[in-house]
Chains A and B, each alone.
Chain A
Amino acid sequence: GQSLEQPSEVTAVEGAIVQINCTYQTSGFYGLSWYQQHDGGAPTFLSYNALDGLEETGRFSSFLSRSDSYGYLLLQELQMKDSASYFCAVRTGTYKYIFGTGTRLKVLA
């Protein structure tokens, strides 16, 4: 089977740094994406890692280790508006994107 596991919930305070982990087991791997979803909204793309290492986009960074089947999303300088659900997603060879279980991030004032 295929699985992408994430912590169900993470809580942090404004201004803090938080890391959301994703471990995956899939048949075929071409890259790991991260998406943000606010309540009632659609998932929106944050980042994509096809190669090992760290990708930085503003306050958000994403890391991938293909040998460990592991990645994480790092959010810095947390703001209240970052309160949302975050999903990792694996792209398989057939252009199929499978989503993880999702992590609900609560940012406290």
Chain B
Amino acid sequence: EPEVTQTPSHQVTQMGQEVILRCVPISNHLYFYWYRQILGQKVEFLVSFYNNEISEKSEIFDDQFSVERPDGSNFTLKIRSTKLEDSAMYFCASVAGGTGELFFGEGSRLTVL
């Protein structure tokens, strides 16, 4: 069964450092997403990506964040200068179309010290 894969599963970084989280969405999917979940809280929308450009972004997705699809398979989230409050689980997701079924990766846990 096709799946979304994410790396790394866990990353520890110092405040102010740059972090890149990587995702390989399902190959025939068209829309890609990054979500964030602080422990015990809801799944928060960060950004959606379609046709090699940002479709929509939330107010959380400020200038510190960027996304890229550098090749035909990878989808990355970069945080330029991490803050303590960026500590969270980051989920990548993709969807084929209008089925309402988001496929999530297993997540990348980011810990900022």
Contact = CB atoms under 8 A, between A and B. Distances in A.
A87 B95 CA distance: 17
Given A42-B107, A87-B43, A101-B42, A95 B102 contact: no
B58 to A, nearest CB: 9
A30 B99 CA distance: 10
Given A94-B56, A95-B31, A96-B48, A42 B105 contact: yes
Nearest to B105: A42
A91 interface: yes
B103 interface: yes
Contacts of B48: 94-96
Nearest to A48: B100
A56 B84 CA distance: 43
A102 B42 contact: yes
A32 B98 CA distance: 11
B33 interface: yes
Contacts of A94: 48, 55-56
Interface of A: 30-33, 35, 37, 41-45, 48, 50, 87, 89, 91, 94-102
27 contacts: A31-B100, A32-B100, A33-B102, A35-B102, A41-B106, A42-B104, A42-B105, A42-B106, A42-B107, A45-B100, A45-B101, A48-B100, A48-B101, A50-B98, A87-B43, A89-B43, A89-B102, A91-B98, A91-B100, A94-B55, A95-B31, A96-B45, A96-B55, A96-B56, A97-B33, A97-B45, A99-B35
Interface of B: 31, 33, 35, 41-45, 48, 50, 55-56, 91, 95, 98-107
